[in-house]
Structure 1
């Protein structure tokens, strides 16, 4: 995998908000990456990069560090799925401290936004760097969103699968209902690809701890 920084994308419009085509997807992640770089230092995202896929469109990788101490909710509610999140081989493991109560700090979560040619929508994959025993579902998912992600919510359940590019076991939000949800919030007016991606992040991100930083959201609206 090679991280790249493409130049300014061509102008596109997405007339049908339920789906996005590969050229528009690439334009969207390129615009988001470029805008994040312009507001770097004002964002809680630690890193944003575009990663090439030799067999398809590149994908966007967002790294978010949980600097504040995070409590492992599974130690108190007894409902954890206890599924192991595999650490990516191409990233160095970082030493973490863990107290007997299950408190973790220094966790880095990788959010990969990958294009699905079958569903013609973005798909969010999550892996954890720094703690191979971390249950992303329990650590990241706000209590408000846990019921919908454990069963069938607006965008389906949070599940485990092999990452389509890296091959690493990862959590993902199944895309089967993404087009339906996007059509409901986006309508059919023509929008810039990055607007589509911002709407999509607004639907998918909050349930797994990924919110667009305020400075970035404001810059994208300019």
Structure 2
């Protein structure tokens, strides 16, 4: 198997094109994703989505802001997020792990879900580590219509980010 068959990477222009197509689909579905463009430099644009979830343990309402950002190092999309309590306080790493991955071992968590500096905002965010993303995207099977939909569908559920099944429908064929 060639490297191209075992890894799926994106260039910055490809990421931006996919992000704009994803955003068109989001608008079509009346979903509230938005494209944040800091400037036209690579990689200063990202997709943003917010939602509120109820924490089962404490019954708190948690506001989560997700960002789909381009990783220059890995050449793949990356999922960053911040979770805040209703009083505005940020969930620390332990609370975030407990909320999103309560059954995972600590050693697994350090490899999967860690705090990193956001590459556009330069603030600490939680992130799903991108080290195996290109490999996982390559194993998806047939070519994806939009790699960001595939990426969010595969990685999002780990952090309570679930896309509507409508994102997978091709409305032109219905």
TM-score by length of 2: 0.78
- Asked if the contact 1:109/1:128 (under 8 Å) is kept, the reply is yes
Distance 1:218 1:53 in 2: 31
Task: State the 1:34 CA deviation.
Answer: 1.4
1:109 matched residue in structure 2: 64
Task: State the 1:172 CA deviation.
Answer: 0.3
RMSD: 2.7
Higher relative CO (Cα under 8 Å, sequence separation at least 6) belongs to: 1
**Equivalent residue for 1:122, pick from 77, 80, 83:** 77
> Relative to 1, partners in 2 of residues 1:150 and 1:33: Cα closer, same or farther, differing over 3 Å?
farther
**Equivalent residue for 1:171, pick from 98, 102, 126:** 126
Task: State the 1:200 CA deviation.
Answer: 1.3
Task: State the 1:141 CA deviation.
Answer: 3.4
2:99 matched residue in structure 1: 139
**Equivalent residue for 1:59, pick from 11, 24, 46:** 46
- 1:24-60 alpha-carbon deviations (Å, 9 max, x no partner): 11111111111111111xx5xxx31101133423110
> Which ranges in structure 1 are unaligned for 5 or more consecutive residues?
1-14, 73-101
Is the radius of gyration larger for structure 1 or structure 2?
Answer: 1
> Relative to 1, partners in 2 of residues 1:207 and 1:182: Cα closer, same or farther, differing over 3 Å?
same
> Which ranges in structure 2 are unaligned for 5 or more consecutive residues?
none
> Relative to 1, partners in 2 of residues 1:212 and 1:51: Cα closer, same or farther, differing over 3 Å?
same
Task: State the 1:186 CA deviation.
Answer: 3.7
Which structure has greater helix proportion? 2
> Relative to 1, partners in 2 of residues 1:152 and 1:127: Cα closer, same or farther, differing over 3 Å?
closer
